[in-house]
Amino acid sequence: MSADRGGDDMSADHDDDGVSGTNGSDGAENPPIRRLADWDPDRLHGIAAEHGTPTYVIDLDRVAENCERLRAAFPAADCRYAVKAHTGRAVLKTVRECGLDAECASAGEVDRALAAGFGSDRIHYTAVNPPARDLEYIVDLAAHEPGITITAGAVDTLDRLVERGYDGRLCLRVNPGVGAGHHEKVRTGAAAKFGVPYDRAAKTARAAAERFDLVGIHAHAGSGIDPDQLDAHREFVSRMGDLARTLTAPETEQDTPGTEREGDHADPDPIDLEYVDVGGGFGVPYRETEPALDIDAVASATRDALGTVPTADGTGTVQLAVEPGRYLVADAGVLLTRVNTVKPTPEETVVGVDAGMTDLLRPAMYDAYHPIGNLGGGDGSTPEAGKPADREPIPVTVAGPICETGDSFCTDRPIAEPVRGDLLAIGIAGAYGYEMATQYNSRPRPPEVALSSEHDARLVRRRETHADLTVVEDDVDETDSPIDRIGGER
């Protein structure tokens, strides 16, 4: 991991940078980003004292604020939440109550959305190389809950749906040939894995409309798109607008790839689309000096790039849909971890903590930056006695307990000099934090505590135990099946 200079002293006074809500500070109403320094350190100390460390904290009021800001920026759009960013039931219920739909990437996420109270007509299942058991679950669900929409990005997937008797609501995922995002591993817009190639999309959509109720087209450029990548965002949205007009008003759009007039499609009928889904991927600033994304500017650029898409009968317009995940939950979460080792070496000072890459994988997997603040408490019997305000920052490597070199959260990062027992807060951890946690090294996953004005602080996910590590091995002969073992059918 490369050196990542920069720090976040949470013991400093930040009255001019506060956040309204449940963190206990005063400030501007619904700011575009909550920095790590805006969290109430005394409250975080109290949570760590009650629930131990490592522990995730998620602020549901902040999730609601982010949903409100998104809907205000896209007032006429169908706003959806990409569930994979954080699938916790408390978060899903908050998002549902804010009026967003659920965009799900697996049958398990669909099941979670249903459990959180989403109606099937508010659930969109995006199938990427879907396992057979996932398709069968969704098709069975659609048989008695026909409101669900399936998004498919391969002709093979369409064939598999037909083989299972599905002819319901379908959205076609398109590969626009334009990608963006914070890391090459999450730039989906130009990756062949995702969506029907753009030059075949119109023909594929018309064929799909003969077998399903084709209600939309979909594309996603990538995850963590920042202000410098808005040109790529505009380009791919513009392509989706052109494609949509080709489908809803084919007589007016003759230059879009994949629209050649030949054979049975010499005079194609208009397709009655309900929406054009341009995905999400709206980024958040992880580094303290990065500006917040101007979501209003993004919304304006998105609408301008898409243009007006008329309905098939020409009496209305097709709706824009967006589906961010990270943008709604990232700054609503922190990970609390305790210093257990301070090891000075000639090269660096290593600060060992009880959280690792099994709890927060993003730094190891993406070389991702997360702000880290020292809340102190390690050089006294109370947090007040151990505040690090008077300690000089020193460059440290913060590393976890996993026996891998990649198990570190930062390298050469200036942090108020840590001592054993200090509580560290790792910020902007609400998205793809707990979601990517694992039991590698047979480490139980951490608990999660939710904050809200309605319930104050409450445990919403308990800490796993050693017994949880082996529960799937208990009575395996009675619960296993041949299909479970071989991974399903075609």
Instruction: Cite the annotated binding site for pyridoxal 5'-phosphate by residue number.
Output: 281, 323-326, 432
Chain-centroid distance of CA 4 in Å reads 24
C-alpha to C-alpha distance for 48 and 51, rounded to whole angstroms: 5
Q: Which of 110, 100, 98, 210 is nearest to 151 (CA)?
A: 110
Q: What are phi and psi of 183, to 5 degrees?
A: -155, 150
What is the DSSP annotation of 29-77?
SS-S---GGGS-HHHHHHHHHHH-SSEEEEEHHHHHHHHHHHHHHSTTS
Rounded distance, CA 312 to CA 170, Å? 17
Q: 310: which strand partners?
A: 317
Residue positions forming the annotated binding site for substrate: 326, 362, 366, 404, 432
Active-site residue, from 67, 79, 104, 403: 403
Q: What share of the chain is helix, strand, coil (3-state, %, to 5)?
A: 35, 20, 45
Angle at 62 between CA 88 and CA 451, to 5 degrees: 60
Question: Is 403 one of the annotated active-site residues of the chain?
Answer: yes
Per-residue 3-state assignment (H helix, E strand, C coil) for 224-278: CECHHHHHHHHHHHHHHHHHHHHHHCCCCCCCCCCCCCCHHHCCCCCCCCCEEEC
Nearest-angstrom CA–CA distance, 118 and 381: 46
DSSP character at residue 317:
B
Of the CA atoms within 13 Å of residue 31, those in its CB half-sphere come to 20
Q: Residue 285 class from Cβ within 10 Å (0-12 exposed, 13-18 middle, 19+ buried)?
A: buried
Question: Cβ atoms within 10 A of the Cβ of 297, count?
Answer: 12
Count of residues in the chain: 490
Distance CA 244, CA 202 (A): 9
Cis amide prior to 310 (ω within 30 degrees): no
Distances (CA, A) of 146 to 17, 100, 106, 245, 382: 47, 19, 18, 27, 57
Identify residue 397 by its one-letter amino acid code.
T
**Catalytically active residues, by annotation:** 403
